[in-house]
Structure 1
Amino acid sequence: MPHRPTGVGAGDRAEPLPAGAVRALVLATLGFAVNCWAWALLSPLGPVFVREGIAKEAALLVAVPVLVGSLGRIPIGALADRHGGHVLFPVVAVISAAPVLFIGFVGQYDYLTLLVGAFFLGIAGTSFAIGIPYVNTWFPPGRRGVATGVFGASMGGAALSAVTTIPLLTAFGEKAPFVVTAAVLFAYAVLAWRCLPVAPGWSPSRVGLRRQTLVAVRRRTTWLSSYLYAVSFGGYVAFSVYLPTLLSTWYGLRSSEASYGTAGFVLVAVLLRPAGGLLADRIGASRRLSVSFVIVLLGAVLLGTHPGLMPGGTVALGAMAAGLGSGSGALFALLGQITEPTAVGAVTGVVGAAGGLGGFVPPLVMAAVFARTGTYSPAVLLLAVAAIGALVITGILAAGRSSQIATEQGRSGASLGP
């Protein structure tokens, strides 16, 4: 019998989907995209605030929402197990609209109020921990890789911020990007409240919030997966929020040019995330993860040499986007297979928090390294080192997964009897 690395057979992939599964996936994906749009709203504005003297450095300003959105995923993930995505998606969208409007009408004129707004803007980033368990309840194991990959691709909402914020500001004034984003959040909240279905097999977790989180934290696989997601998704977040600054200071691009360059990076990562999940379903999540981290390693080494933007820098950034995006998709294919349904939210919250924290630190490191050395090369090469560590961790997880499959097969054989 051939070995299946993921433990997922063709029967799982052929299993019919319950009615409403596609609608649930589309609406959840739309919800995360809209929230990502809000979550990344300050990224393209960072260089503008620096140029106008409101902020001395954009790194902290764009990193604070990432930090809050990351840590907030831990309680939100546990709440998702208890209340379901059909409730939490519209609630988080409405709450996230408040800091968007605050920044637009009050906060953007002073650095301290900007930081306050950035803190609460991080709430939008917690929606990831709502969507993964919600999507998991609708899809069988053999389809969860591509389903969670499609959902995760809505992190491309950050590209909406990159390509709309500066043009809206230029055409309609400084409040326009915030008014438009808030309006979209409110519209989605109404749509989600009316149309998000409840999965037929879903039942709320009865475990207390604190206990649910502690159980997730105590899992060895949670911590190993957290490191992998800190590298893959964290690397994506770090570059998506700091790339406008890097392209402006390292390559001399104008704000609008840097925004479009960032949108291209985000687009590549977004398109490759579902592909990573699909290939994880087909060839095994650990194999797909290994390929992704090798690509990240090569791209980071090339970018670390500070090549010219065309073609070397573009190739390096494209490779990194592809590896980081596909790796993020493959990881949650694996996580959905090794975690029981009632704990997916809590585990996703912890792993998602690690991914967001992985995006919080690098912008600060890159800014500090550039201020001291005048180059980003040492900071970029740290990502190459992290990718090597991810390859080692992937091997450890793969060995544990193979052992788990062998144990399950042994039990199945024993239950059949002679």
Structure 2
Amino acid sequence: MSSSTTEKPATAAEPDLRGGLRQVILATLASTVGFWAWMAIAPLQNIYATDMGLDQGQVSLMLAMPVLVGALGRIVVGAMTDRFGGRKMFTLVLLAAVPPVLLVALAGSIGSYWLLLVSGFLLGVAGTIFAVGIPFASAWFPPARRGLANGIFGMGMIGTAVSAFATPRLAEGIGYLATHLLIAAVMVVMAVVVWFGMRESPVWKPSHQALIPKVTGALKLVITWQMSFLYAIVFGGFVAFSTFLPKYLMTIYPDDVDAVGAGTRTALFAAAAVVARPIGGVLADRFGPKVISLVSLAGIVATAYIVGQQPPEGVLTGVVFILMAAAMGLGMGAVFAWVGPSTPPDKVGAVTGVVAAAGGLGGYFPPLVMGATYQAETNSYALGLWLLVLVGAAALVVAGMLRDARAPKP
């Protein structure tokens, strides 16, 4: 009798995390839809540029607009997730992004560049979905497996590949307006599925701290700034290339790559990062996030240097871009595996929001820089790519100076 009495408290203390993988997969599907909407403008940029007579600078600004709100909005959404939970916030973000998708459809239909900028700015709401999923996924797994959890959720970035691959084909097949109506409909359906199928982890407890003090508290943590810098390189680079790669390929290789071909290559780029992200999380759980981050940053620096040499379009170019994406994916998984063990549990959502915002901002500026540094005489983006090499090298040095962090093994 005494042995059964001793066992009960231990069993009661164990949180029931069964069904966690199913919940994280559902969150990943919701993120996929959000990323598809967030990246709805980039795959059709050639249509906008032709129909509206846009120059390099105007195209770069158009591509950067959704990234801005998608970045800064993550700070607020991450803190709100700590308070209201993933189920409510996933539903809210998906539904709130539907009107901007419809506005993009209207802007393209009437050929209004300024309306497209405004609707692209609002479309950034869809990009905040990432800040919902990290604390939600983390709460469903024990600390030693959160790199895996965040890696699985991070695969929702496949929405970028879906957008790059499917959006131009849908626009050709069913029409521009119908494509955007379809995206909006998928978002509504996904919001309904989330509302009725998602539940919070038994470990999760709502935080009732006010938004501004919560964000301020996250900003006071040194780990927030360290991880923000690293994530601005790995995720920012991914976002920048996911939005700008079609433009880059069609400009540098105009005789070899059309809009659909550029979309296919961009989809492969995004898919490589998506596959590498959970691998980065698992490897970070095993070997420590610092080692994996260093490998990631070294890979980014090396591949950016090769791309800057502007090799002929073909197998070499394709392999280099896929290796670059894989390096970025490894880094994304490693950085968030670094955040978890280093952050107080009640601040995970807020810190996640700030770090994710830094990643988004890291993707906001490169398209503008690439547009501003483009050299028409030589048809080259080399200067912009050299800046990526230098910033990546600086991040490599910073990461090497930081202390590693691992979650305790169960």
- Correspondence 1:104-183 to 2 at 5 A: 104-106=105-107, 108=109, 109-183=111-185
Deviation track 1:124-174 (CA, whole Å, cap 9, x = no partner) reads: 000111100111111111110011011112111011111111111111111
Whole-Å separation in 2 of the counterparts to 1:155 and 1:398? 28
Which among 293, 296, 308 is matched to residue 300 of structure 2?
Answer: 296
Q: TM-score, normalization: structure 1?
A: 0.90
Deviation track 1:324-353 (CA, whole Å, cap 9, x = no partner) reads: 111001110110111122111100111111
Residue 20 of structure 1 deviates from its aligned partner by 2.2
Whole-Å separation in 2 of the counterparts to 1:37 and 1:361? 21
- 8 Å Cα contact 1:226/1:354 also seen in 2: yes
Q: TM-score, normalization: structure 2?
A: 0.92
Which among 382, 385, 388 is matched to residue 380 of structure 1?
Answer: 385
Residue 398 of structure 1 deviates from its aligned partner by 2.4
Whole-Å separation in 2 of the counterparts to 1:105 and 1:293? 40
Whole-Å separation in 1 of the counterparts to 2:263 and 2:16? 39
**Secondary structure at 2:126's aligned position in 1?**
helix
- Correspondence 1:59-138 to 2 at 5 A: 59-106=60-107, 108=109, 109-138=111-140
- 8 Å Cα contact 1:54/1:111 also seen in 2: no
Residue 74 of structure 1 deviates from its aligned partner by 0.6
Tell me how large the CA RMSD over aligned residues is. Answer: 1.7
Residue 17 of structure 1 deviates from its aligned partner by 6.7
When structure 1 is superposed on structure 2, of 385-394 and 101-110 the one drifting more is 101-110
Q: Is there any run of 5+ residues in structure 2 with no aligned partner, and where?
A: 1-13
Q: Which residue of 2 aligns with 1:397?
A: 402
Whole-Å separation in 2 of the counterparts to 1:295 and 1:119? 32
Q: Which residue of 1 aligns with 2:29?
A: 30
Letter in 2 for 1:303: V
Q: Which residue of 2 aligns with 1:48?
A: 47
When structure 1 is superposed on structure 2, of 15-24 and 197-206 the one drifting more is 15-24
Whole-Å separation in 2 of the counterparts to 1:62 and 1:106? 14
Whole-Å separation in 1 of the counterparts to 2:16 and 2:375? 53
**Secondary structure at 1:203's aligned position in 2?**
coil
- 8 Å Cα contact 1:293/1:388 also seen in 2: yes
Whole-Å separation in 1 of the counterparts to 2:344 and 2:136? 13
Whole-Å separation in 1 of the counterparts to 2:294 and 2:262? 30
**Count of aligned residue pairs for this structure pair:** 389
- Correspondence 1:192-203 to 2 at 5 A: 192-203=194-205
Residue 397 of structure 1 deviates from its aligned partner by 2.2
Residue 16 of structure 1 deviates from its aligned partner by 8.9
- Correspondence 1:255-274 to 2 at 5 A: 255-274=259-278
Residue 242 of structure 1 deviates from its aligned partner by 0.2
Whole-Å separation in 1 of the counterparts to 2:388 and 2:360? 15
- 8 Å Cα contact 1:101/1:178 also seen in 2: yes
**2:328 corresponds to 1:327:** no
When structure 1 is superposed on structure 2, of 46-55 and 375-384 the one drifting more is 46-55
Residue 68 of structure 1 deviates from its aligned partner by 0.8
**Secondary structure at 2:403's aligned position in 1?**
helix
When structure 1 is superposed on structure 2, of 169-178 and 124-133 the one drifting more is 169-178
Whole-Å separation in 2 of the counterparts to 1:372 and 1:140? 53
- 8 Å Cα contact 1:17/1:139 also seen in 2: no
Deviation track 1:19-61 (CA, whole Å, cap 9, x = no partner) reads: 2201210111111110000000000111111011253332111
> Percent identity among equivalent residues?
42
**Secondary structure at 1:59's aligned position in 2?**
helix
